[in-house]
Chain A
């Protein structure tokens, strides 16, 4: 029996998952306008042909559709790597270095900037897992990679992210590598 979604239900899904899906797509393709198109198309697809499995299957189905489409957008409009730029917050360069304690907004800016400098495959796997709580199986399906590869890619991604944060901190005069979760001597691959 074909599954059907009424407009009322669709509105409800848009309210519940729309903002989250928009963040997911924006985080992947780095283009808020394209992300809106991706999310719009995903909800239209949902109305045209909802996934088997009923309402419970819809959130992960939508995430997968949005992830795939966002990766496609990214591949079509591949941007140059941002690696050369390390001055993520000019204000930091001038602030009193005695007081290095930053509030959450600054911490988030540090992480956001470091993530922007990551290669796409590593950045996306972190976005999917950490920001959108997708399982390794869902990530594998969405990214078209073996499930066994997800953990190793995540490991490399987290390690690189930590290294980039430390590198930025060094450039901007923040002390120490106390935030580095991995041992710097292990794993040289970026």
Chain B
């Protein structure tokens, strides 16, 4: 171990120990780094100290690499994307610019007209509000699957939906199905949706909504990408169903 000498040119062992982290982290300024290197050249004890600290760091690094998953969990990914979709949907429906007076009234009227035509606001109001639909078996499962897809892609997931979604995705994680429809609905669910459309108790409005659901699901299955407005509209349509 070297002895304390002129501090302007040489560092002592306690000096080096005090700046050990700066040395191994490469965070010393040039002059100090140079002085530390000179000291380490001639001091075996301090070289040993640096080596051991670096070995300790290697183990700390290895410990860090073993913490946590190798990939971002689905829960987080869907959490991010569904929040974004929800915000985008909100932005689409609420004009960002607040106008005043007649301009605002005119813009609102125009927006409502366009919205009604394009289905921004969920299409026409139900002609038979309160019509209760009793579903069972595969039809009920199909409805639940389609509703979940519409919520995910329409950007309106609740916390409970999330949990259900994660459970469903986890249950189907290894079946090799490539997309959310396959994983949430499956062949059985698609057949159930088709059967559901044959249900004699459907009102005209309910049938329209379910036809839209089938169309969007089929488009998705064909690799097409229906716009988010379609999903928002479907989601709103499905939300009006009252299941018995």
Contact = CB atoms under 8 A, between A and B. Distances in A.
Interface of A: 7, 10-11, 14-15, 18-19, 22-23, 26-27, 32, 35-36, 39-40, 43-44, 47-48, 104, 107-108, 110-112, 115, 126-127, 129-132, 135-136, 151-152, 154-155, 158, 161-162, 165, 179-183, 186
B218 to A, nearest CB: 23
B203 to A, nearest CB: 36
A37 to B, nearest CB: 8
Interface string B56-78: 11011111111111111101110
Contact of B72 (A19, A47, A126): A19
B25 interface: yes
30 contacts: A11-B81, A14-B72, A15-B71, A18-B71, A19-B71, A22-B72, A23-B64, A23-B68, A39-B76, A40-B76, A44-B84, A108-B62, A108-B66, A111-B62, A111-B63, A126-B60, A129-B25, A131-B60, A155-B21, A158-B21, A158-B53, A161-B60, A162-B56, A179-B55, A179-B56, A181-B49, A181-B55, A181-B56, A182-B17, A183-B49
Contacts of A154: 21, 25
B69 A19 contact: yes
A186 B56 CA distance: 18
A22 B69 contact: yes
Contacts of A179: 52, 55-56
A10 B83 CA distance: 13
Contacts of A43: 76, 80
Contacts of B49: 181-183
B27 interface: yes
Contact of A23 (B19, B52, B67): B67
Given A14-B76, A132-B64, 16 more contacts: A11-B81, A15-B71, A23-B67, A27-B68, A32-B68, A40-B76, A43-B76, A44-B83, A47-B84, A115-B63, A151-B22, A161-B60, A162-B56, A165-B56, A182-B20, A183-B17
A155 B18 contact: yes
A60 B138 CA distance: 49
Contact of B81 (A7, A130, A181): A7
A58 B21 CA distance: 27
B18 A40 contact: no
B79 interface: yes
Contacts of A10: 80, 84
Contacts of B71: 15, 18-19
Nearest to B50: A181
A154 B51 CA distance: 16
A112 B22 CA distance: 23
Contacts of B57: 130, 158
B95 interface: no
A32 to B, nearest CB: 7
A15 B63 CA distance: 22
From B50, B53, B70, name the one whose CB has the most chain A CB atoms within 10 angstroms.
Answer: B53
Contacts of B53: 158, 162, 181-182
Nearest to A47: B84
Contacts of A48: 87
B14 interface: yes
Given A10-B84, A19-B72, A111-B59, A27 B64 contact: yes
B82 to A, nearest CB: 10
Contacts of B66: 108, 112
Contacts of A186: 14, 17
A151 B19 contact: yes
A130 B62 contact: no
Contacts of A155: 17-21
Contacts of B80: 10, 14, 40, 43-44, 47
